[in-house]
Structure 1
Amino acid sequence: MSTRIDYQSDNLTDQHRLAPLLAPQSIALVGASLQMDVAGNDMILELLQSGYQGKIYPVNPKYAEVEGMLCFPSLSALPESVDLVVLAIGNQRLEAQLKEAIRVGAKAVVIFGSGHLEEDIDQPLLERIRQLANDSNIPVCGGNCMGFYNLDRQIRVFPQHIDRHFRSGGVTFISQSGSVLTSLLWNDQKLRFNLAVSTGQELVTTAEDYMDYALEQPSTRVIAIFLESARHPKRFIEALQKANEKNIPVVILKAGRTEVAATLAMSHSGAIAGNNVAYQAIFARYGVIAVKSIAELAATALLLSMPQRPGSGGVAAIMDSGGEREILIDLADDIGVPFAKINAETTAVLVENLDEGLEPINPLDAWGTGNNYKAIYEYCWQALMSDPDAAIGVFVADLTSGFWLHESFARICRRVSARINKPIIMMTNHQGSGNQDLAMRLTQAGIPVFDGAEPTLAAIKHAFSYRDFQARTCMVPMLPVTEDVRESWRARLQKGDLLDEAEGLRLLSDYGIPTQQSIIADTLDTVLSAANELGYPVVLKTATQGILHKSDVGGVKLNLADEYALKEAYFDIAGRLGYRVLVTPMAQGSIEVALGVLSDPQFGPMVMVAGGGVFIEILKDSQVALAPIDLNEAHMMINKLAMRPILGGIRGAEPVDIDGLAQALARLSLLAEDLGDLIAELDVNPVKVDVNGCIAVDALVVPHGVKCAEQAA
């Protein structure tokens, strides 16, 4: 009976604040048990199976020994203070055992239990646990978690045992769901992890903290995350920035993208799922790869964990089926994955080697008569992968272990890969290669095998996107407004009064956004005078305080061509909504778009551009970015709109001034950065755009705390 020998390491991660949690040199297992298939026994079997070389102290007053090791009656009876205490006990005992762990000097804790009590006091148990740990400055994994695997350090702290050895690799997997974690950790042996963490309720230690730890591990090639919510947005962004600095891609499967899913996320782990639009804006800013399924997450993590990353160009592909080639071409077009444009030299090699009747193109179906197929495939595959425009190679074969043809394809792939410093993968058109011997042998040889064309192509698209993100130009900030302008508007917004439309337009104008000229009037004479000054035709709008959506209450009269029409419109609006009105010229822009500022509670101010009219109301055609942005990002946002072809001119129409629109969007982002913390809602709708430029016609600016007449009603 022994407790294992101590060990030493010079790993830099030993200095990280999470080292006592994720790389402990001694572990106490509270709730250790001899009963099979319970957490108290499984956690011991997991730790022993992992090959852990530190000290292990089972703790349970019921036993003298557990699994051949001396068992201690309490934490206080241990011969030394331990780095990590694992609590595999009922919720009723959690608080007392956590207090004892803190008292004996434990440096970290894992809590498997949910921490929910049927009859709790005013301060719930979970909050008491959080406060105890925070006051003692110790990291806690959980509660309601499944612990972690640190395969670099041969540690498995887990409440469920699987009799299997795992090889370490370059994928860090952080999951706010234990089942999502095991779906990959236990079932896809082609994925090799250095660290896999079930974060649970994140009472103390959060996904952001685990990201920071992983980014300090030399073995980390890619970080994959199942995320319901970033509990500490600032630390989340800091971790993403750190990943960018280290060129480590972050792949996130964000749950709660829909309203229903977000509600379930809150009940599942206490997370606030957050505004998905805001998350997508954060992901875009920091190069996060957003995926939509576990299969896509796994494929993308596997691809990005390879030693080689795709360079410039597209996909080179080879296969033994014309029908599968057609499927691949169709799916690649749907997903947006380009094929390499092979040059004349490559084409000549294909012509020289292919059987008669086969097309020398990429993607290539190289199967003809079958005679001399080994040489044909090797020469053709070598030529395709040597082409300057080939960024990544995909050898398509529905692998069957032991089948002579597929074993030959595998050998050809290995030989070509040894000569080419580009990523080469094999892809099946079906799911199910995960446990096949040939697929595992190939993956371990550095040629990973991917299941299914769609997740594979999605992973390749993500790898290309990350490549392009890394090659992006640095942001060129827009020229800021003067401090006097910024501070005067901050003072105005801090008053908390609603800005009328004329004032909102002045705000936009001060930030360099072209705006419609306007005049406030409150009598018929001043209305007529304003129209004469501006020139017919004019627009008349109610300017009664508190009415935000003027069109909804009949408060907008368009295209008033003369004095008679203007009088009729004024009498109607004044009689129903009040005498105060706004007079503007009738804008001449040919196309309408909308701009706006969003105030996200987690990540702060963001800027939006959207298609006008039906595009924003029905098609939800919008793009959102974290403020501020530069002209380059403004153009990228506009180019992603569904209405972008209309802006470029269709059916003989002239293209509009997209540069002018991009300028207005970038300038609005400066406004968002300067004033967004004071603004609850800012809509610039419509913005009229034509060949000569753009102009903001209407502006709705609502400071925080304002209640309008419509809301009060």
Structure 2
Amino acid sequence: MGIQSLLSPRSIAIVGASEKVGPGYNAFKALEFVGFDGPIHLVNPKSPELFGRRTFASLDDIAGPVDAVFVAVQADAVLGVARVAAKKGAGALAILSSGFGETEDGVAVQRELAAICETAGMAVCGPNCLGLLNFQGKSALFGTSLPDKVARGGIAAIVQSGSVGIALLNSARGLGLSHLITTGNEAVTSASDYIEAIIDDPAVTTILVFAEQIKKPAAFMQALRRARAAGKPVVVLKSGRSQSGKAAVMAHTGAVAGSDEACDAALLASGAIQVHSLDDLIETALLASKIGLRPRGARLGGLSLSGGEIALVLDAAEDIGVAFAPLDTAKDSVKRLLPPFAHLSNPLDLTWAGLYDPSVAQGCAEAIASQGDVGMLVLLQDAPSGLGAQQAGRYSRLLEAVGQGAAAAGTPLVALSNVSDQPHLLLQETADRLNVPYLRGTRVGLAAIANYLKWAAPAPSLGAQPNSVRPRARLNLPDGRLAAEHEARQALKDYGISGPPEQFVATVEEAAAAAEALGFPVVLKGIVENLIHKSDAGLVKVGLNSADDVRREATQMTRAADRLDGRLLGFLVQRKMSAVCEIFVGCRVDPDFGPLVAVGAGGVQVELYKDVAVRLAPLDPEGARQAIAATRVAKLLAGFRGAAPADVDAVARTVSAVSRFIADHSDHISEVEINPLAVMAGNQGCVALDCVLIPRQ
């Protein structure tokens, strides 16, 4: 497709050009605004001249080539324009018109539009969009009004919503934009295509994405990975998050690893920075685009003029998950610089001495920023726009002094105002001159810092190593019904997953005999055809201590099974296992993002608490360990309140093995679940107490 014809067209036609304020007017004014110097062709059959230029009745009447066409006509005329543009060899269309895939009646028309453009190799921005702006390349296919001034810089904003595009374009946050691309319905050209096209552009340092729906998920993930490899942060805000997954859910896994969780896992695996609000999107993109140096670690150094605000910052930092390094090598230097009453901690209260003596602020900043465990220095300094000139001047000199100290230590500096007011003009000018991001709002600012620190850290292990993947084992599953628990566990055996000592039997007396052979206490399960949640139907009894107990419960299970739709296949008798804790491991195949694995708190309450980490499959054991660490159940595994630590290594190996199983068999299996997985103490391993396999059909 001719995506470069969208981003950097050699010539442009505006179909629906007009001197009346509206899209056709705005499209021409946008070209003037960015300084486009190529041929501009105005198409309007009713006006022989517009803006002092000759017009054309149709695209057909333009003698020379047309590289890109901005389309501002009614939806019913768009297909005709597309056909003529294709015949003329145009490379791209930007279609503002609505009434396509976003409406029930327009779906078929959008398919026809896509067919025309794809056959001709034309890229399409939209339909149902505002178009795009390339400030660095001085081109525009844009249909709404522009502010008097737009800050230019390295942020390429790719947004599906025109309203979000307008908000970014008119924001007073000083976002330096290289591009603004509103993608609309993405009938032909998707966000992934735009990302791929701008990754290698030296004018682009940071990419910002707002997506209502991720089209071409595999291509989108690949584009994110390539941006990550190129060292260009991609900040993604995905809207439309719901409580339910797309797939029909039979086991627990789909309920705790739905479409939203799948998208989150894909963004994590692809190296994107995911945020959840427009404020987070703006502040994180601002930080990523303006910070000059990469942090050398994940801990912060902090400076402030207020002990009270330091406490607020520490409260928020703990919630958000960012840590300030304790004062160590900096302590003696700071002590010499500050008055005797100063409280020596990090963040550091500079007191009046740091405010009135720039050398004190500079020295403290350099000392803290030089600590080996400080990756980023943060000046916690409010900068409300209503500051008086005297105070603004003092704060500006403070920022400059701290900036000099951070620069001497070779540590990146970020300024953070605890109030979300737009920073005072003088302080903003000072920050811009020093190339220091000035964030606003304690929680939003700290979240932006946390987001960037995670991105700047070495990429976590998120996939299986090639030499860890075994040859794919053949699946032997029953025809015409779901695999019973013991059959599912047998299918996982080749991946190193084992269950408790057990026997599957057909009758009540055989169950009693099996229990005596295994040794008491035992667990008894009634296996009913196609029944997954056995405990809900009264078909699981734990801790039976005699053959008579087994006979009694098996008899009751026989009666309970008679009331169910499926037939009773038999009884599963298992030796009762003693575990440190029981957890959940599940996998499913997402229709967009492929195989997923989820791990977390297990049992019947897994859907209630949803204490799970979801990742793309397959995972290697180290990636599995990191997923486990992201859950609250990790505290139980580590030995909570004096309990024995569990075999976390065995859990990681099991999670990795199940993730490889679903990746190997995703063409045949839609879900696999171990719930619970009993985890033993020390290095005694873990045991799959219950297993479920759901076939694709």
Same fold (TM over 0.5): yes
Contact 1:496 1:704 in 2 (8 A): no
Residue 295 to residue 353, structure 1, CA distance change in 2 (3 Å): same
Secondary structure of the corresponding residue to residue 322 of structure 2: coil
Among 552, 556, 561, the residue aligned to 1:572: 556
Counterpart pick for 1:331 among 316, 319, 328: 316
Letter in 2 for 1:324: E
Matched, 1:547 2:531: yes
Check if 1:451 corresponds to 2:440: yes
Q: Which residue of 2 aligns with 1:686?
A: 676
Task: Quote how far apart the aligned CAs of 1:299 are.
Answer: 1.2
Map of 1:633 onto structure 2:
623
Question: Is 1:644 matched up with 2:645?
Answer: no
Q: Distance in 1 between matches of 2:670 and 2:574?
A: 26
Q: 1:4-40: per-residue Cα shift (whole Å, max 9, x none)?
A: xxxxxxxxxxxx941111110110011110112x111
Task: Give the one of 687, 702, 708 matched to 2:694.
Answer: 702
1:33 to 1:341, Cα distance in 2 relative to 1, 3 A: same
* Contact persistence 1:505–1:515 (CA under 8 A): yes
SS in 1 for 2:168: helix
The yes-or-no answer on 1:480 pairing with 2:469 is: yes
Whether the 8 Å CA contact 1:340–1:391 is kept in 2: the answer is no
Q: Report the counterpart of residue 565 of structure 2 in structure 1.
A: none
SS at match of 1:169: strand
Contact 1:542–1:580, Cα closer than 8 Å, also in 2: yes
Check whether the contact 1:91–1:116 (CA below 8 A) recurs between aligned residues: yes
Greater mean deviation of Cα atoms: 273-282 or 93-102: 273-282
Q: How does 1:131-150 map to 2 (within 5 A)?
A: 131-150=115-134
Q: In the alignment, which residue of structure 1 is the partner of 2:573?
A: 583
Q: Once the 2 structures are TM-superposed, how far is the Cα of residue 425 of structure 1 from its aligned partner?
A: 2.2
Match of 1:68 among 49, 52, 57: 52
2:25 maps to 1:33:
no
Detail structure 1 runs of 4+ shifted over 6 Å in the superposition.
117-123
* Structure-1 separation of matches of 2:233 and 2:39: 35
The aligned runs of 1:291-690 (5 Å cut-off) are 291-305=275-289, 306-344=291-329, 346-368=330-352, 372-399=356-383, 400=387, 402=389, 403-416=392-405, 419-433=408-422, 436-470=425-459, 476=465, 479-483=468-472, 486=473, 488-489=474-475, 492=477, 497-577=481-561, 578=568, 580-613=570-603, 616-690=606-680
- Asked if the contact 2:245/2:258 (under 8 Å) is kept, the reply is no
Compared CA separation, residues 479 and 317, structure 1 to 2 (3 A) = closer
* Shift in Å, 1:379: 2.3
| TM-score, reference length from structure 1 | 0.89
Give the match's secondary structure for 2:528: coil
Residues in 2 aligned to 1:371 and 1:657: alpha-carbon distance in whole angstroms:
53
SS in 2 for 1:300: helix
Q: Any conservation in 2 of the 1:496–1:703 contact (CA below 8 Å)?
A: no
- Distance in 2 separating the partners of 1:498 and 1:421: 61
Q: Which stretch shifts more, 667-676 or 518-527? A: 518-527
Letter matched to residue 626 of structure 2 = M
Compared with structure 1, are the counterparts of its residues 473 and 86 closer, same or farther at alpha carbon in structure 2 (3 Å cutoff)?
A: closer
Which of 237, 240, 245 lines up with 1:253 in the alignment?
237
Q: How many residues align?
A: 673
Give 1:187 deviation, angstroms.
1.0
C-alpha deviation, 1:649, in angstroms: 1.9
Deviation at 1:245, TM superposition (A): 1.9
Indicate if the aligned counterparts of 1:223 and 1:249 stay in contact, CA closer than 8 A. Answer: yes
The answer (yes or no) to whether the contact 2:463–2:617 under 8 Å persists in 1 is no
1:122–1:631: structure 2 CA closer, same or farther, 3 Å change rule? closer
| Residues 159-198 of structure 1 aligned to structure 2 (within 5 Å) | 159-198=143-182
114-123 or 387-396: bigger deviation: 114-123
- Structure 2, unmatched stretches of 5+, are 247-256, 562-567
Deviations 1:366-387 (A, max 9, x none): 1326885222222222333333
Q: Which amino acid aligns with 2:326?
A: K
What amino acid is the match of 1:672? I
1:208 to partner: Cα distance: 0.6
- 2: CA distance, partners of 1:31 / 1:687: 64
Deviation at 1:477, TM superposition (A): 5.2
2:199 is the alignment partner of 1:215: yes
Write the deviation string for residues 260-316 of structure 1: whole angstroms up to 9, x where unpaired.
999xxxxxxxxxx98011111112222221111111111111111123221125222
Q: Determine the C-alpha separation between the residues in 2 that align with 1:418 and 1:93.
A: 59
Q: Secondary structure at the match of 1:656?
A: coil
| Shift in alpha-carbon separation, 1:473–1:342, aligned structure 2, 3 A | farther
2:3 maps to 18
1:48 alignment partner in structure 2: 32
Deviations 1:208-230 (A, max 9, x none): 10110121211222211112222
The alignment partner of 2:422 has SS state of: coil
Taking structure 1 as reference, are residues 379 and 261 closer, same or farther at Cα in structure 2, changes over 3 Å only? Answer: farther
CA shift for structure 1 position 412: 2.3
- In structure 2, the CA distance between the partners of 1:527 and 1:398, relative to structure 1 (3 Å rule), is closer
How far the C-alpha of 1:541 sits from its partner, in A, is 1.6
The structural deviation recorded for 1:394 is: 1.8
Kept in 2, the 8 Å contact 1:151–1:166? The answer is no
1:468-492 Cα distance to aligned partner (Å, 9 max, x none): 2437698545743444xx1x21x64
**Cα–Cα, structure 1 residues 154 and 553, in superposed 2: closer, same or farther, change >3 Å?**
same
1:593-646 Cα shifts (integer Å, max 9, x gaps): 111111211111111212123652422111111111111111111122212222
- Unpaired stretches in structure 1, ≥5 consecutive residues: 1-15, 263-272, 706-713
Q: In structure 2, how many angstroms separate the alpha carbons of the residues matched to 1:526 and 1:136?
A: 71
What is the Cα deviation at residue 434 of structure 1?
A: 5.6
Alignment partners' CA distance in 2, 1:564 and 1:368: 81
- Once residues 596 and 291 of structure 1 are traced to their aligned partners in structure 2, the CA distance between those partners, rounded to angstroms, is 26
Q: Distance in 1 between matches of 2:381 and 2:150?
A: 27
- Cα deviations across residues 521-556 of structure 1 (Å, max 9, x unaligned)? 222343233223322332222223222221122222
1:290/1:371 CA distance change after superposition, 3 Å: closer
Shift of 1:421: 3.3
Q: Secondary structure at the match of 2:89?
A: coil
Q: Which letter maps to 1:427?
A: L
State the Cα distance separating 1:116 from its structure 2 match. 4.0
User: Which is further off, 446-455 or 164-173?
Assistant: 164-173
C-alpha displacement of 1:347:
2.1
One-letter code of the match for 1:326? A
SS in structure 1 at match of 2:398: helix
Q: 1:241 aligns with which of 221, 225, 233?
A: 225
Partner SS, residue 341 of structure 2: coil
1:280 equivalent in alignment to 2:264: yes
Question: What SS class does the counterpart of residue 36 from structure 2 fall into?
Answer: coil
CA–CA separation in structure 1 for the residues paired with 2:124 and 2:307: 55
Contact 1:43 1:158 in 2 (8 A): yes
Is the 1:190–1:443 Cα contact (8 Å) retained in structure 2? no
Q: Which residue of 1 aligns with 2:251?
A: none
Whether the aligned pair in 1 keeps the contact of 2:300 and 2:374 (CA below 8 Å) is: yes
